[in-house]
């Protein structure tokens, strides 16, 4: 394995911690390391728009990940396929230019592992891809992070590209929709009309993370009219969210009604058998045969986030190649530095809750209760963040522990704190202090 490949594989786990699941699956996994020139890691892709997006919006996070992995490499450069060694470009090409965002060609129905937790969304999405506008319209898919929502959206896009190339498909995140609308308004004149033309003249609209419409009244109005026009013309709309429409905060009733007017499909965390099947499929894709007992051991380490689980598998395979040794359970333990069981012996949810309560001087009853006072809500959300960050515990179990809350509430709390600590130095210091207390540093 070349040094630039080792560098990139080492940086990937760091990037998984800081980049959103959509950005990681859409952009990061599509980059191919090809060289190190002048102290920069050269990353290859097949699309100019794709390269520009990575070089701007994700630049700082990629640089930070590289700095953590090497004292010699702290920067990178993205080049498109025909600007570098063309023969090195393999599957790092997006589908076609008519998509709002690049679509990973590896995310297909064939590569989607079906189990009891996701068979409903698989069947519904396949029906939509085969008969857009006729099956379920809209199709609203919701569930926790890392459970395959983005995969299924891209599978629809890839299926239509192959079987119905004349169908105009647009895949975008809700954030992209929002940013483009704001930009069009800022430019004035014909820009808003061009924006509407782009989104309202498609045959299939795929929007990821629609929960970001929450509290954005003006954006909701534009989205409502776009949505309405497409559905009235029997154009297919597929939406994903981390929570059902009724739980999206401050969502207009007319929009919530439209979302609930089609099929609502809930994707749950996969059972053990499905997780093993996913790991087996991924190991085969990486041309690495792993004993079923080892796959079972890895599968038991995480039951709520498939992306995290695959990240663990990637670390193990990388460790095996780096040390030129077979993949065993002992290697898994060494590569991951911990097993779920060992960690739980060291740290319990009660330890985190007690530490947070002591730090902020609140009672456990207030953490578990329903009071909306800021002095109780913030410690409650910090508990959710720390448990998800420091332990391998299913979101449903965390919610049950924190007063019987559902997984969507835990996701919201975790993501909110994660965003706040990026800009709130005081909160970041407090959380680091709590972690040090828990780890007895």
Domains and CATH numbers, the chain: 3-88 (3.30.300.180), 119-266 (3.40.50.300), 272-337 (1.10.8.60), 345-439 (1.10.1750.10)
Alpha-helix runs per DSSP H in 73-201: 119-130, 149-163, 174-187, 191-200
Mean pLDDT of the residues in the chain: 83
In the chain, the percentage of residues whose pLDDT exceeds 90 is: 28
Please count the other Cβ atoms lying within 10 Å of the Cβ belonging to residue 39.
10
Cα dihedral 164, 165, 168, 171 sign: positive
Is the pLDDT reported for residue 55 higher than 80?
A: yes
With a CB cutoff of 8 Å and minimum separation 6, the contacts of 86 are: none
H or E element that contains 228: helix 217-232
Is the predicted pLDDT of residue 168 greater than 50, yes or no?
yes
Closest CA to 254 of 215, 231, 230, 220: 220
Helices (H) and strands (E) in the chain, counts: 21, 8
Q: What is the 3-state composition of the chain as percent helix, strand, coil, each rounded to the nearest 5? A: 60, 10, 30
Residues 6+ apart with CB under 8 A from 335: 315, 316, 318, 319, 320
**Residue 304 binned pLDDT confidence (cut-offs 50, 70, 90):** low
Sheet-wide strand order for 263-266: 169-173, 204-208, 236-241, 139-142, 263-266
**Of 123, 93, 95, 100, which is closest to residue 205 (Cα–Cα)?**
100
- Peptide bond before residue 143 is cis, with ω within 30 degrees of 0: no
Q: What is the pLDDT of residue 1?
A: 56
pLDDT at 98: 40
Per-residue model confidence (pLDDT) at position 377: 93
Q: Sorting pLDDT into bands at 50, 70 and 90, what band is 336?
A: confident
pLDDT, tens digit (0-9, with 9 covering 90-100), for 192-223: 888 888 898 899 999 998 988 887 888 999 99
pTM for the model stands at 0.59
Supply the pLDDT for residue 186: 80
Q: State how far the alpha carbon of 380 is from the alpha carbons of 15, 243, 346, 392, 416, in Å.
A: 27, 19, 22, 18, 12
Pick from 368, 361, 309: nearest CA to 144: 309
Query: pLDDT band for position 71 (50/70/90)?
Result: low
**Residues in Cβ contact with 394 at an 8 Å cutoff, skipping those fewer than 6 apart:** 269, 303, 304
Nearest-angstrom CA–CA distance, 237 and 262: 10
């Amino acid at each position: 394995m070349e040094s630039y490949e080792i560098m990139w594989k080492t940086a990937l786990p760091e990037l998984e911690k800081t980049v959103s699941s959509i950005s990681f699956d859409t952009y990061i996994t599509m980059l191919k390391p090809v060289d190190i020139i002048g102290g920069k890691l050269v990353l290859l892709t097949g699309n100019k728009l794709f390269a520009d997006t990575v070089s701007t919006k994700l630049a700082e996070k990629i640089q930070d990940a590289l700095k953590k992995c090497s004292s010699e490499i702290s920067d990178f450069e993205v080049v498109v396929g025909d600007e570098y060694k063309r023969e090195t470009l393999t599957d790092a090409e997006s589908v076609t230019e008519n998509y709002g965002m690049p679509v990973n060609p590896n995310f297909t129905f064939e590569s989607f592992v079906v189990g009891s937790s996701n068979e409903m969304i698989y069947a519904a999405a396949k029906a939509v891809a085969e008969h857009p506008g006729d099956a379920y319209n809209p199709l609203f898919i919701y569930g926790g992070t890392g459970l395959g929502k983005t995969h299924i959206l891209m599978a629809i896009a890839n299926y239509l590209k192959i079987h119905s190339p004349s169908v105009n498909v647009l895949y975008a995140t809700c954030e992209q929709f929002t940013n483009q609308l704001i930009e069009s308004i800022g430019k004035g004149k014909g820009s808003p009309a061009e924006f509407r033309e782009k989104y309202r003249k498609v045959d299939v609209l795929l929007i990821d993370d629609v929960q970001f419409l929450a509290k954005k009244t003006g954006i909701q109005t534009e989205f409502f009219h776009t949505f309405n026009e497409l559905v009235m013309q029997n154009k297919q709309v597929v939406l994903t969210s981390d929570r059902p429409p009724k739980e999206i905060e401050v969502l207009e009733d007319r929009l919530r009604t439209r979302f609930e007017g089609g099929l609502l499909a809930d994707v749950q965390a996969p059972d053990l058998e499905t997780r093993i099947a996913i790991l087996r499929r991924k190991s085969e894709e990486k041309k690495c045969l792993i004993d079923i007992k080892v796959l079972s051991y890895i599968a038991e380490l995480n039951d709520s986030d498939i992306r995290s689980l695959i990240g663990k598998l990637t670390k193990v395979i990388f460790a095996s190649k780096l040390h030129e040794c077979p993949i065993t359970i002992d290697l898994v333990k060494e590569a991951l530095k911990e097993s779920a069981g060992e960690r739980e012996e060291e740290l319990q949810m009660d330890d985190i809750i007690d530490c947070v309560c002591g730090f902020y001087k609140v009672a456990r009853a207030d953490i578990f209760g329903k009071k909306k006072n800021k002095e109780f809500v913030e410690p409650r959300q910090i508990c959710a963040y720390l448990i998800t960050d420091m332990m391998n515990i299913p979101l449903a179990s965390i919610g049950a522990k924190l007063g019987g809350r559902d997984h969507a509430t835990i996701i919201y709390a975790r993501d909110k704190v994660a965003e706040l600590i990026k800009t709130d130095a005081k909160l970041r210091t407090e959380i680091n202090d709590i972690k040090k207390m828990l780890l007895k540093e």
